[in-house]
Amino acid sequence: MDTQKIRSDFPVLSKKWNGKYPIYLDNACMTLKPRQVIAAMDEYYYEYPVCGGRSLHRMAKIVDEKITSSREKFQRFLGAKQHEEIIFTKNTTEGLNLVANSLDLKKGDMVLTTDKEHNSNLIPWQVQAEKKGISHVVVPSAPDNTFDIDKFESLINKNVRLVSMVHTANLDGYTIPAEEIIKIAHDHGALVMLDGAQSAPHKPVDVKALDVDFFALSVHKMLGPTGMGVLYGKHQLLEAMAPFIVGGDTVSDSTYQSAKFLPSPEKFEAGLQNYAGIIGSGIAVDYIENVGRLEIEKHEEKLNTIITNGIKNIPGLKIIGPQEPGSRGGIISFTVEFPKGGDAHDIAIVLDETANIAVRSGAFCVHSWFNNRKCEAAVRASVYLYNTEDEARKFVDALGKTIGLFA
């Protein structure tokens, strides 16, 4: 993988801030955008900035063709059987909420999640428990922060309607044994949904091989535009589900008393869509596939190894999740005990101001995990395809100096 060539495609990496080029290690929050994605979106606004799916003029037909092309790209990207199984959303959060609200859950149904869920796969089930009387049960991790398959098997029963779990955790980069979980769930008659926001951009995902029922992702975490996501669902399940948001573009006809809904995916894509975003999303898929997700995965593990080996012996520093970097993808999250005061946010601020290194500090929208462990905040560095070994070493050096200020 030619990292230097890749970096030349990202305009922001050639812009100096306070005399230094940025070292961007906040990729689990959002990735940077290559010029190819930006150009494709500009092309829409400059050359055919019109509605798709409604009008019959030339420009509208171009938009329709581009939308279909992007949908087919995501079909191939995820290994779906047909492009009708791909629904465009705003983000992973909307995809998860769509299923939570459209699936016919009833009082007494159980939903199982992990103890590392992003708020987007926690709060919807708390709301459904309040509204419909479903039971939401959290599967605790094993002592080494990996998935406890025995505990999962002890909790699943005939009342479990859905297993909805984070595929790769944004907390620590750990990937659950999805194939095994899905088989067990299906054997008990339960459906499975995966939050793939941190997995699909970084490693190969084949929804057909996994036999997963629903899979949600955010395009802004895979080189694409903000405000774009994708929900995959098995066709027969989508056809049986009621739409979540209704109105324009979801129906083929209506009277004052009734409406005839379109099939999936149209019935789930209400109103005028983010056409530029959909087009840019397809180009983001092209970019990632040209590099290769296996290559990305190997590159991230190499960088994670450099960082892990460089920081693991810093006094007071504790890496969250499995200690082997190969089990944490491109994510390195850690807490630091400060004998003289200071916290995770101080580390992030000092790294930014002194070394132009961007990391995340806080609870990463996994407040439940932090509150359960009475931990206020952590620091997270997350790498991607444009990060270099030199940047990884600079981060290690800068982090050591930063922590030294509070020691």
Active-site positions?
365
d(CA 111, CA 167): 16
Q: Where on the phi/psi map is residue 274: left (φ > 0), alpha (ψ -120 to 50), or beta?
A: beta
Q: What are phi and psi of 227, to 5 degrees?
A: 70, 25
Contact 152, 176 (CB under 8 A): no
Q: Please list, in sequence order, all residues whose beta carbon lies within 8 angstroms of the beta carbon of residue 214, skipping any fewer than 6 positions away.
A: 95, 99, 191, 192, 193, 194, 231, 232, 233, 234, 237
For 10, 223, 250, 291, 294, the CA distances from 6, given in Å and listed in that order, are: 7, 12, 40, 9, 16
The number of residues making up the chain comes to: 407
The maximal CA–CA distance of the chain, rounded, in angstroms, is: 71
Strand partners, 362: 378
d(CA 48, CA 276): 10
Centre a 10 Å sphere on the Cβ of residue 76 and count the other Cβ atoms it contains.
Answer: 11
The DSSP call for residue 407 is -
Contact 114, 177 (CB under 8 A): no
d(CA 192, CA 296): 26
